[in-house]
């Protein structure tokens, strides 16, 4: 599907949804240019996503570190102070910049394909369903083989390991492939619901952006920022249990499979009267079961550990991300800086 077709599909979807909801169709690009499919080239989207991810990561990373520590049962602050909150940020930048760039580009173009194949959408529920599908596909593809080990290393560094220790643990530890696979599944459980909720909310809110601007009496730019904050904050809030469980997998599973299990102490008596003491290390599946059992024992309330920190990360973080993303794309458009796509 070409850029023009994708843009037409996105515009038609928004217009039909607005009509069904009793709201006037909105012209032009809305908050965070991702809201209109295919309005720019794929490479331009990749560049804008990379810049936006860099800004969001640098600004919000300390809150993410505190959240990870709290969910892991550690103290939020260490003797290293503010500087220590940036532990592991190189891995976070290596992960998030290409990840978000690919994610947004894929989302916008997948959404254009989905909307186009569906034709005219005559009901709000149908539109929401298509946005959920587009967000889900984008999230699933963005969780690549490169991202999984980088996030695994990032989380372990945030919770106390040095970069060298985390790398050695990943490379030299047993069951590495199985651990990476389980981590990949856990990340999917977390990111697919988040992406689906976030984009569905953004698209719902965009229908009322001009009404909100008139009601609040502020520039459209600030309403766009507010919409991004609301969508990111709500999506982060409702998906906290998935985030907590994935965090437990990334910070505890390797230790459970690498360290001896005292419960499986084995003593073999030799003929000379001496004893041979050995331990059976639990496998990945057993470690996963133990983590899930601990997670389940926490109960409903315990599953929301770190919920306000996660909300505090994604509400302003999403605002920073989409504002930067849209601003970068607007600057490229205003100055005619267009990176040609490959055909």
pLDDT at 342 (0 to 100) = 36
Contact 341, 68 (CB under 8 A): no
| Mean pLDDT along residues 3-27 | 38
Longest dimension (CA), the chain: 90
Minimum mean pLDDT among 33-47, 110-124, 160-174: which range? 110-124
Assign 64 a pLDDT band (cuts: 50, 70, 90). very high
Confidence class for position 68, pLDDT limits 50, 70, 90: very high
Residues 9 and 37 sit within 8 Å (Cβ to Cβ) = yes
| CA 102 to centroid of chain Cα atoms | 12
The Cα 317–Cα 32 span in angstroms is 13
| pLDDT score for 118 | 47
Beta-bridge partner residues of 268? 276
Cα distance between residue 238 and residue 285, in whole Å? 27
Whether residue 5 is predicted with pLDDT greater than 60 in this model: the reply is no
- Secondary-structure class of domain 32-335 per CATH: mainly alpha
What percent of the chain lies above the pLDDT cut of 70? Answer: 65
Most confident of 107-121, 145-159, 283-297, 325-339: 145-159
Per-domain boundaries in the chain: 32-335
Mean pLDDT within 157-162: 89
The average pLDDT across 321-340 equals 75
SS3 per residue for 190-257: HHHHHHHHHHHHHHHHHCCHHHHHHHHCCCHHHHHHHHHHHHHHHHHHHCHHHHHHHHHHHHHHHHHH
pLDDT tens digit sequence for 280-323: 555 677 777 888 888 888 888 899 999 999 999 999 998 888 88
How many residues in total does the chain contain?
A: 343
Is the pLDDT at 277 greater than 60, yes or no?
no
Rounded CA-CA distance 209/163 in Å is: 45
Contact 229, 315 (CB under 8 A): yes
Confidence of residue 135 (pLDDT cuts 50, 70, 90): low
Using CB atoms within 10 Å of the CB of residue 270, give its burial: 0 to 12 exposed, 13 to 18 middle, 19+ buried: exposed
Q: What is the pLDDT of residues 178-220, one digit of tens each?
A: 888 888 888 888 888 888 888 778 777 877 888 888 888 888 8
Distance of alpha carbon 111 from alpha carbon 129, whole angstroms: 11
pLDDT by residue (tens digit) across 219-271?
Answer: 887 888 888 899 999 999 999 999 999 999 998 887 766 555 555 555 566 66
């Amino acid at each position: 599907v070409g850029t023009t077709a994708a843009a037409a599909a996105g515009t038609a979807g928004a217009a039909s949804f607005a009509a069904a909801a009793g709201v006037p169709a909105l012209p032009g690009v809305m908050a965070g240019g991702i809201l209109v499919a295919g309005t720019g080239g794929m490479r331009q989207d990749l560049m804008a996503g990379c810049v936006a991810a860099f800004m969001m990561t640098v600004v919000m990373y300390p809150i993410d570190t505190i959240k990870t520590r709290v969910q892991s049962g550690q103290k939020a602050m260490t003797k290293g102070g503010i500087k220590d909150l940036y532990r592991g940020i190189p891995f976070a930048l290596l992960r998030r910049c290409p990840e978000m760039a690919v994610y947004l580009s894929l989302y916008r173009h997948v959404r254009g394909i989905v909307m186009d194949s569906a034709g005219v959408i005559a009901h709000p529920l149908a539109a929401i369903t298509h946005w959920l599908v587009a967000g889900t596909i984008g999230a699933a593809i963005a969780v690549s083989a490169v991202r999984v080990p980088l996030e695994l290393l990032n989380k372990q560094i945030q919770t106390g390991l040095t970069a060298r220790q985390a790398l050695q643990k990943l490379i030299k530890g047993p069951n590495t492939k199985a651990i990476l696979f389980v981590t990949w599944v856990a990340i999917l459980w977390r990111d697919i619901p988040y992406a689906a909720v976030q984009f569905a909310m953004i698209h719902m809110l965009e229908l009322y952006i001009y009404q909100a601007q008139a009601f609040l009496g502020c520039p459209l730019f600030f309403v766009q920022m507010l919409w991004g904050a609301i969508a990111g904050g709500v999506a982060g809030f409702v998906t906290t249990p998935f985030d907590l469980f994935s965090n437990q997998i990334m910070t505890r599973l390797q230790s459970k499979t690498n360290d001896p299990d005292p419960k499986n102490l084995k003593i073999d008596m030799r003929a000379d009267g001496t004893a041979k003491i050995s331990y059976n290390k639990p496998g990945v599946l057993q470690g996963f079961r133990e983590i899930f059992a601990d997670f389940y024992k926490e109960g409903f309330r315990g599953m929301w550990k770190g919920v306000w920190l996660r909300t505090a990360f994604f509400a302003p973080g999403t605002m920073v991300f989409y504002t930067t993303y849209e601003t970068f794309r607007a600057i490229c458009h205003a100055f005619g800086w267009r990176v040609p796509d490959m055909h």
